[in-house]
Amino acid sequence: MEFERGLKKSAISKNLAKLGAGDFEMLRLVCPILEVFDSVTLRFSKETSTASEVLPILKRIREFFRQNDKFTESLHGFIQTLSNSINDRVKKLVDNKLLRISTLLDPRYAFDELIFNKTHWGIVIEDLKEFANKVLPDDKLPVQLDVDAEMLVESPESDCLSENSKESIHYDIFHRPTSTSPGVSSLSSRIEVQLASFRVTDRVSHDTDIFQWWKVHGAQFPDLFNLARIVHSIPATSISSERLFSKAGLLYADSLRNRLSADMADKILVIKANLNEVLLAPSTETDDDFSFVDTDDYDFC
């Protein structure tokens, strides 16, 4: 009975006022703003979404809402509420080290001062080096260099010379002289050198496939590449996990699969995931199913 009374209280009243011309005008103004959130939701829902997109996109939306001159006065209250909500969310997320590190390792947003200022990027670099020391084995010990190293290799001395004595001394004319300057050997030093090169790399567009980018450029930044493989495996949302659980549930719900082992279920899911990447027929999706709202009134990018 209490449950039924609760339903009756929460039911929408049938005596709602009719929508007038002013209401439809408000809807016309609000819908383009909601399209921004819809496009971002679609982007975060993709299998290729990464956690590195979260902070940059939320900050872009926040800056978008701060441009009050784009919106009519009747929307200011609505915009202020949305802006406050995003501000609260950004303040919580910006303290997450993994989010900051993943943003630094994303060629679309790395060192972008619209996301973090120069001082803050310096803090993120220190976070990255600390993270690297925890997850990457530093197996390259400093090389001991000796400027007095012999450039020739002599055989053991003998009291008498044999007829083969001319072969007892060997001069290596291809031996490279050593240097006293230490090489870049420690992990932190290597990361600093690679970050310096990574910083001057041209920033790519926001719709670039960063997995393909790292596949092509990873050899230039080997340590950063290893770190990127770790942090970019974190999706922007839990949707990918939910899809996986849903597909696994459908497998086990099939009554014909009465002897399905966990190992076999894992293999089936992997095969299905790879089949999704194979174009078996012309795609029915648009080439770019994500694009920020681009109208005369609302230019998000």
3-state secondary structure of 171: strand
pLDDT for 11 equals 60
pLDDT at 243 over 60: yes
Pick the most confident of 18-22, 180-184, 190-194, 245-249.
190-194
Alpha carbon of 215 to those of 77, 226, 229, 232: distances in Å? 46, 11, 10, 13
Is the CB of residue 238 less than 8 Å from the CB of residue 49?
Answer: no
Over range 220-225, report the average pLDDT. 95
Altogether, the residues listed in the chain come to a count of 301
pLDDT for 216 equals 94
Cα 226–229–234 angle (5° rounding)?
Answer: 145
Over range 118-135, report the average pLDDT. 94
Beta bridge partners of 154: 169
Over range 253-270, report the average pLDDT. 80
pLDDT for 153 equals 40
Phi-psi category of residue 268: left, alpha or beta, with phi > 0 → left and psi -120 to 50 → alpha:
alpha
Q: Which residue has the higher pLDDT, 130 or 294?
A: 130
% of the chain residues with pLDDT over 70:
71
How is the chain split among helix, strand and coil, in percent rounded to 5? 55, 5, 45
Q: Rounded to 5 degrees, what are φ and ψ at 193? A: -65, -45
pLDDT for 119 equals 94
Q: Rounded to 5 degrees, what are φ and ψ at 299? A: -110, 95
Over range 179-188, report the average pLDDT. 60
Q: Which residue has the higher pLDDT, 106 or 270?
A: 106
78-92 pLDDT tens trace: 888 998 999 999 999
Is the CB of residue 72 less than 8 Å from the CB of residue 86?
Answer: no
8-25 pLDDT tens trace: 555 666 777 787 888 888
pLDDT for 35 equals 92
Cα 236–117–81 angle (5° rounding)?
Answer: 60
Over range 160-189, report the average pLDDT. 56
Beta bridge partners of 299: 294
Is the CB of residue 108 less than 8 Å from the CB of residue 206?
Answer: yes
The two three-digit tokens of residue 47, written as one number:
């299998």
Is the CB of residue 109 less than 8 Å from the CB of residue 103?
Answer: yes
Q: Which of the 8 DSSP states describes residue 50? A: -
Q: How far apart are CA 62 and CA 243, in angstroms?
A: 29
Beta bridge partners of 171: 152
Is the CB of residue 211 less than 8 Å from the CB of residue 48?
Answer: yes
